[in-house]
């Protein structure tokens, strides 16, 4: 039964990490309803480290763009420039995460905060997508400036609040900055690499790696499932954003926020 829960958690992570609907919020809510029979320390590590499977999918799918050691000097320069932008964009969330990790873990990881974040961002998506079309000035990764990267990085800080959505925050920030949906989505994927890897390392340093063999199996299984599902989710989202807006995700978030409040109010 525990392995079935882990597989479901991996599927949830793989789908929701890349959609603007909050992976952390969905993982925490699922675990509230169907809790894993593991220690509190391991559960805290699992909820973060399972994301490594998702970011490995980004590396596999975008290896050509990300690999900085190409023979062609022009292409090598593009990759190095992209990585520099990613690093610059990752700094705000990295600093905030180091300073606020304990506070977020102890005070904000509850259903009321998740429901509030789901609702507020849902309304924002609906409003932005239904209002007058935003002016697009950036249509490729090469056109993305370092200032644009910093702005998207600032929006990524908001995703430290459970229920907000890292991809949702960064893509929303990109749209407000005049970046096209496909470019904002792709750069959001790349921004996830150092932030999620750093968050996993921080969690492991805090809680250690002295897990039992069954706990390691749970961690590896969840990450593997998240990796496989993420391969399909990323491709699906990239295809979706080329032809559609994010209003449907806004509606989903608002409905889910109401469901969350009703469920936990009745449960308690």
Q: What is the pLDDT of residues 225-258, one digit of tens each?
A: 999 999 999 999 888 888 888 889 999 999 999 9
What is the pTM for the complete model shown?
0.86
Provide the percentage of residues in the chain whose pLDDT is more than 90.
41
Q: What is the mean pLDDT of residues 9-32?
A: 87
Please compute, for residue 187, the number of CA atoms within 13 A of its CA located in the half-sphere on the CB side.
40
pLDDT at 96: 85
Q: Does the pLDDT value for residue 46 go beyond 80?
A: yes
Confidence of residue 27 (pLDDT cuts 50, 70, 90): confident
pLDDT at 268: 66
pLDDT at 13: 92
pLDDT at 55: 92
Is the separation of the CB atoms in 168 and 22 below 8 Å?
A: yes
E-only strand ranges, the chain? none
pLDDT at 39: 85
Q: What is the mean pLDDT of residues 132-161?
A: 89
Q: What is the mean pLDDT of residues 1-6?
A: 90
CB under 8 Å to 102, separation ≥6 — which residues? none
Q: Locate 180 and state its tokens.
A: 């096209």
Confidence of residue 139 (pLDDT cuts 50, 70, 90): very high
pLDDT at 253: 93
Residues, the chain, total?
A: 268
Q: Does the pLDDT value for residue 165 go beyond 90?
A: no
Q: Does the pLDDT value for residue 20 go beyond 80?
A: yes
Is the separation of the CB atoms in 250 and 124 below 8 Å?
A: yes
pLDDT at 82: 95
Q: Does the pLDDT value for residue 15 go beyond 80?
A: yes
pLDDT digits (tens, 9 = 90+) for 86-114: 999 999 888 887 788 777 777 777 788 88
pLDDT digits (tens, 9 = 90+) for 184-223: 999 999 998 988 888 888 888 877 778 888 989 999 999 9
Mean of pLDDT over the chain: 88
DSSP 53-113: HHHHHHHHHTHHHH----SSHHHHHHHHHHHHHHHHHHHHHHHHHHHHHHHIIIII-SHHH
């Amino acid at each position: 039964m525990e392995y079935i829960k882990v597989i479901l958690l991996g599927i949830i992570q793989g789908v929701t990490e890349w959609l603007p609907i909050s992976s952390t919020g969905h993982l925490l809510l699922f675990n509230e309803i169907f809790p894993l029979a593991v220690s509190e320390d391991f559960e805290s590590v699992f909820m973060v480290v399972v994301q490594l499977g998702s970011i490995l999918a980004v590396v596999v799918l975008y290896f050509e763009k990300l690999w900085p050691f190409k023979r062609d000097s022009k292409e090598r320069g593009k990759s190095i420039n992209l990585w520099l932008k990613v690093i610059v964009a990752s700094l705000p969330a990295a600093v905030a995460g180091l300073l606020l990790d304990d506070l977020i873990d102890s005070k904000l990881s509850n259903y009321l905060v998740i429901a509030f974040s789901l609702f507020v961002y849902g309304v924002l998506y609906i409003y932005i997508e239904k209002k007058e079309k935003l002016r697009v000035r950036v249509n490729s990764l090469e056109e993305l400036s370092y200032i644009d990267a910093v702005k998207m990085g600032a929006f990524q800080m908001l995703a430290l609040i459970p229920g907000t959505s890292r991809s949702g925050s960064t893509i929303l920030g990109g749209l407000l900055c005049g970046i096209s949906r496909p470019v904002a989505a792709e750069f959001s994927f790349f921004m996830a690499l150092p932030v999620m890897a750093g968050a996993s390392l921080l969690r492991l340093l805090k809680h250690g790696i002295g897990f039992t063999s069954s706990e390691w199996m749970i961690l590896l299984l969840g990450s593997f499932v998240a990796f496989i599902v993420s391969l399909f989710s990323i491709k699906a989202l990239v295809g979706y954003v080329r032809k559609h807006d994010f209003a449907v995700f806004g509606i989903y978030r608002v409905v889910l926020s109401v469901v969350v409040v009703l469920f936990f109010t009745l449960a308690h």
